[in-house]
Amino acid sequence: MLIMNPIDLTRRLVALKTMNPPGQERDCAKFLGALFEKSGFKTRYLEFAQARTCLIAWTDVRVCTGIGGQGEQRPVCFSGHLDTVPLGVIPWSRDPFSGSIEGDKLYGLGTSDMKGGVAAMVTAALRAARASHGKANMMLILSAGEEAGCQGASFLAQADQHLPPVGALVVGEPTLNYPCIAHKGVIWLDAQADGLAAHASVPDKGINAIYKAARAILRLQAFSFPTPNNPILGAPTLNIGTIAGGNAINIVPERVTFAVDIRTIPGQSHAAIYRQVEDCLGVDARISNRRLDCPPVETDANHPWIQDVFGIMEPILKARPVPRGINYFTDASALVPALGNPPVIILGPGDLAHIHKTDEYCRVSNIEAAEEAYYQIMMKWGNN
């Protein structure tokens, strides 16, 4: 049975260019699928667009309906994504695809988000399969298109893809290996203010869409969500990310668009949020497009499996974990309902402070620690 070192595997994955756009995760998915197949896993490849390939791998023991038969116990599932963000405008001081190692730092595009985490869960799975003689009960979902709004996970979550229910879910996004039990949801929407064009020398003959957008944006800036803070995730947030409008300096602008990013917490109704935003925009602007809608994720800290994972992480972190959450969203938003609403842990070796930027890196020691944590989670599940 082939076992790869998680550091070597991270470097191999970094060399496979999966920048999104365009993504093109197929080669990466096929490479990892071959590793699984050589180690006795069953695999399935699904594409939501040309070369936008997701991989599902599972052990051929007690597997649930929808992948390969009827089973007694739901598997533990590990999820990660294969795509990365594009290179930024600031030049790298190292080759972003070489996976160079300097001391405890492994440099490369996607090392922290999240090829180090993917490598750790893959090598842990191969190791657990060998140690259990193929009897470990687990499944891995490696998705395409996460960086553009969970495209691959949303595709996999569709009813006709027949994802099986799982007993628990680990998402390997960057947390510095701290087990987080909640993350915020997200709403991305576009708003539009419409005016009437006129020559700038007679602005009273037109209606300035920039002024209308400015009034609406200032109301959004002052808007407060009518909901109590979540004890782990805090308050929901709203941010205006982009704005565009106007044709020329000497024309009264007739249209302005701006993009709104809202991060939600458990207990909020997304349908109600749309109504609240529309009310806040008033007569000055309107919602023109709903780009993305992913719900928040939260698991009870007292759930037995959560406490099991906290126990596994205590010697690794050298302290007993306490309930924490993260402000960003993950593929869990799309996958959890399709997987039967299992308890969720977000746990990965990457560092949020070093993702989506030039000279991204992940610490070698964190990748190694993540692989050990994943392995222990897999083995403990299989022995339950």
Question: What are 205-261's pLDDT values in tens digits?
Answer: 999 999 999 999 999 999 999 999 999 999 999 999 999 999 999 999 999 999 999
Backbone angles phi, psi at 201, to 5 degrees: -75, -15
Where does residue 180 fall: left (phi above 0), alpha (psi -120 to 50 degrees), or beta otherwise? Answer: beta
For the record, the structure tokens of 357 come out as 């930027």
CA-based nearest residue to 214, from 186, 191, 189: 191
pTM: 0.93
* Residue 52 near residue 144, CB atoms below 8 Å: yes
Residue 133 contacts residue 142 (beta carbons within 8 Å): no
Phi and psi angles of residue 130, each rounded to the nearest 5 degrees, phi first: -70, -45
Which homologous superfamily is 6-183+296-383 in?
Zn peptidases (3.40.630.10)
Strand pairing report for 138-143 and 255-264? unpaired
Alpha helices in the chain (DSSP H): 6-15, 26-38, 116-131, 151-156, 209-222, 270-281, 304-317, 332-338, 364-383
- Nearest 10 degrees: Cα torsion 156, 158, 164, 170: 50
| Tens of pLDDT, residues 128-181 | 999 999 889 999 999 999 999 999 999 999 978 889 999 999 999 999 999 999
pLDDT tens by residue, 81-124: 999 999 999 999 999 999 999 999 999 999 999 999 999 999 99
Quickly count helices (H) and strands (E) in the chain: 9, 16
**Domain 185-294 is found in CATH 3.90.1150.10:** no
Mean pLDDT of 313-329: 97
Are 120 and 370 a contacting pair, CB within 8 Å?
yes
Would you kindly state where each structural domain of the chain is located, as residue ranges?
6-183+296-383, 185-294
Q: Is 16 helix (H, G, I), strand (E, B) or coil?
A: coil
Closest CA to 377 of 331, 292, 308: 308
